[in-house]
Amino acid sequence: MSNKNSYSAIPTDPERSNISIPSSKSRRRLYITMGAVVVSVAAAVVIGTTVFLGRKIEDVPQRNVIMMISDGFGPASETFARQYRQYTEGLGPKVILPLDEIHVGHSRTQSSSSLVTDSAAGATAFSCAMKSYNGAIGVDPEEVPCGTVLESAKIHKNMLTGLVATSRITHATPGAFSAHVAWRDWENAIAEQQIGHNPLGRTVDLMFGGGKCEFLSSQAVGTCRNDSRDLLQEAKEQFGWEVKLTKEEFDEIEPENTQLPVMALFAPGHMSYEIDRDSSKQPALHEMASKALSILKAKSQKENKGFFLMIEGSRIDMAAHTNDPATHVHEILEYQRTVELVKKFVDENPTTVLISTSDHETGGLTAGRQIGDNYPEYLWYPEVIQKVVNSSEALSEAWSVAVENNSTSTKYLKEVLIESGLGIKDIKKEELQKVYDWNNSNKTVEELAYVFGDMVSRRALIGWSTHGHTAVDVNLYAKGPGTESLRGSHENTDIGDFITDYLGLNLQDITIKLKESQLINAQQQFDKRPTDKNPAVYHG
């Protein structure tokens, strides 16, 4: 039973339609008072039949769901990555990507507050099977917590659960499956709920990704918490978490002998882009997914239970926000590698379902672009993308450091950053000037990254319409029993409904339990979430 509601129109309430980000000082957390409700974990219940969007399918033991989310990945990005791979590997046009083989339809993405969604509302649609406003993390349009598929899988079915992401593990997408806050930026509170400070108790068994700073005391180096709580220590002492903070510790994990819950956090913030990643310090997405699947499979076989695992290619979106085509394509190809291994897992474990889709499209990417007034040729240049060896983010950060250290030079900018980093030899004076103009501006390092990304995009004839999101439908991919019901055009909430039905979950019951817990009156004790008319500016 899902949290089904009717949202027939986009509300015009200006307090919901346009939201700006609060400062760190004015963040208000929607806390769920801990210890108010003690919820017992129920044993798995055998269901005779399961309904898939109106179709009955016989139940089977140890059902698994692997929900993959390619943040910010639109249909044009699939074409872009496929053609790039065909070109760089000398393949013919009939060679397709792993996702192409399981393409079943598309997902419609609007939120309850806007025709253009953000990742928080998008992920809440998947997790709660419910439309909510942009910025909502596991709450409905009235800011009331909604039960998620991950929580019901744990509470009602005693299943194993996991989150894998290349963003902060407290970011919008993983957060929406594992926490309930009224505003996506309250990641301190999301971290608290993820480790187990939740009226439902601990519902997550495994977390791999970035975001260590959200768990460190405000007195620690590299923290981004606003209080002195050491959540890593609390996780170990109060909830029994095994905590890994290095690639070496991650590599030493033996799936057969791993004790749950386990978390591995590899970066203070987001993990590195694939194009920049140091393999000795951070695993790739496919490595994290592979280890997570091995752990969950070994544990599920020992305990005779299924699992729910969410895997997010988080930074596909962030590269598109920067309009950085080379970084974008490398993030996509790493996601495709991950899809390939998950597809193999489904083949070897036939009661497993794989669903892959995006929360939204980012950037308005086009493979083909008109530069100037002259009618364009019908082409784009993958070879330009192939020469890039660093993300625009890494290059802009390097230049920013040089500016701070008063060590900038045209030689460094031209030869090291642009020629070596971007593979561009025909740099123009006006392009160099744009970088120098940034030095004395009030623009962010991210805005400098736009300049480097544009140098590549123009030469490759890759177009972008925005640094934000768009409303286009996104592709829907699926493999496994019952997924034929996902063919065609679906609202993003249908995906949450499908998971609910396949696993025999009861989201409404979880919602009731959350409502019955004692909630702190946020309006009285904390500032309200932002509701002014300025546009929201954030990634995902």
Q: Using an 8 Å Cβ cutoff, are 285 and 69 in contact?
A: no
State the DSSP string of 371-401.
-SSSPPPS---HHHHHT--S-HHHHHHHHHH
CB-count burial class (<10 Å; 0-12, 13-18, 19+) for 17 = middle
Q: How confident is the model at residue 478 (pLDDT cuts 50, 70, 90)?
A: very high
Q: How confident is the model at residue 530 (pLDDT cuts 50, 70, 90)?
A: low
247: nearest Cα among 292, 294, 283, 293:
283
Backbone angles phi, psi at 3, to 5 degrees: -85, 65
Write the CB contacts of 359 (distance below 8 Å, at least 6 apart in sequence): 69, 71, 72, 109, 117, 118, 119, 122, 123, 125, 126, 173, 474, 492, 540
Neighbours of 59 (CB within 10 A): 16
Catalytic residue among 2, 119, 152, 391: 119
Residue type, 86: Q
Q: Using an 8 Å Cβ cutoff, are 109 and 473 in contact?
A: yes
Residue 523 has pLDDT above 60, yes or no: no
CA pair distance 368, 381, nearest whole angstrom: 9
Residue 75 has pLDDT above 90, yes or no: yes
Neighbours of 399 (CB within 10 A): 24
Chain centroid, CA 414 distance in Å: 34
Position 127 scores a pLDDT of 98
Q: Note the pLDDT tens digit of each residue in 220-272.
A: 999 999 999 999 999 999 999 999 999 999 999 999 999 999 999 999 999 99
Q: How confident is the model at residue 517 (pLDDT cuts 50, 70, 90)?
A: confident
226 versus 53: the higher-pLDDT residue is 226
CA pair distance 19, 21, nearest whole angstrom: 7
Residue 119: active-site member: yes
| Cα angle for residues 221, 391, 78 (degrees, 5° grid) | 120
Residue 20 has pLDDT above 60, yes or no: no
Lowest mean pLDDT among 4-8, 280-284, 508-512: 4-8
CA pair distance 338, 484, nearest whole angstrom: 22
CA pair distance 139, 131, nearest whole angstrom: 9
Position 62 scores a pLDDT of 86
Q: How confident is the model at residue 1 (pLDDT cuts 50, 70, 90)?
A: confident
DSSP alpha helix (H) spans, 213-284: 231-239, 247-251
| Cα angle for residues 172, 178, 179 (degrees, 5° grid) | 75
Residue 532 has pLDDT above 50, yes or no: no
Position 540 scores a pLDDT of 76
Q: Note the pLDDT tens digit of each residue in 296-312.
A: 999 999 999 999 999 99
CA pair distance 211, 195, nearest whole angstrom: 13
Neighbours of 470 (CB within 10 A): 20
Size (the chain), residues? 540
Strand pairing report for 352-357 and 64-69:
parallel
Q: Note the pLDDT tens digit of each residue in 363-400.
A: 999 999 999 999 999 999 999 999 999 999 999 999 99
List the beta strands (DSSP E) in 34-158. Answer: 49-52, 55-58, 64-69, 103-108
3-state secondary structure of 267: coil
| pTM score above 0.85 | yes
C-alpha dist (Å) from residue 424 to 172, 313, 416, 452: 35, 28, 11, 10
422: nearest Cα among 462, 440, 395, 398:
395
CA pair distance 27, 478, nearest whole angstrom: 38
Q: How confident is the model at residue 181 (pLDDT cuts 50, 70, 90)?
A: very high
Q: Note the pLDDT tens digit of each residue in 404-453.
A: 999 999 999 999 999 999 999 999 999 999 999 999 999 999 999 999 99
CA pair distance 386, 68, nearest whole angstrom: 27
